[in-house]
Amino acid sequence: MDMGFTYNGCARALTKVRGTDIEAAMGWIFEHSQDPDLNDPLPATSTADAPTTESSGVDEGVVASLVDNLGCFTSDQVRAALKETGGAADRAADWLFSHMDDLDGAIAALESKASSGGGGGRDTTSGSRPLEDGTGKYTL
């Protein structure tokens, strides 16, 4: 909005790119800056406009956006990363790139964890899982 665009125009741009990327939203708003309805209030959302999800609970719009924007991952890989990161697109992209050396093995480990009752996604606030980075003995 600091660049002179109205709140409604910015909200429309973020809605069109599904809130995944600020740069994509800026590109969209520059491309559509002459649209007569750019600054009109957004219509009320209905259930027909809601993002579609699979049984895994992953937003398919985010999956498609990440596959298009990242370019080197399949939709199944992106779906697994989104499930592991609780649907956060930025964290899913980071997870994908950090596991790129053995991505298929990492996804297989996620699937085996989910099938053994580990569930999908990480719950870092529950404290039910022990830390995996060693004992914590330090000397100065």
DSSP string, 104-137: HHHHHHHHHHIIIII-SS--SSS--SPP-S----
pLDDT at 120 (0 to 100):
47
Return the percent helix, strand and coil in the chain, to nearest 5: 50, 0, 45
Is pTM beyond 0.75? Reply is no
pLDDT at 46 (0 to 100):
45
Q: How many CB atoms lie within 10 A of CB 49?
A: 9
pLDDT at 5 (0 to 100):
76
User: Could you report the average pLDDT of every consecutive run of 10 residues in the chain (140 residues)?
Assistant: 73 76 81 79 56 62 82 85 85 88 87 70 53 74
Q: Identify the CA nearest to 83 among candidates 121, 112, 114.
A: 121
Rounded CA separation 140/122 (Å): 33
Rounded CA separation 39/96 (Å): 37
H helix or E strand, kind and range, residue 27: helix 22-31
pLDDT at 48 (0 to 100):
44
Q: Identify the CA nearest to 75 among candidates 88, 92, 91.
A: 92
pLDDT at 45 (0 to 100):
55
Indicate the residue type of 120.
G
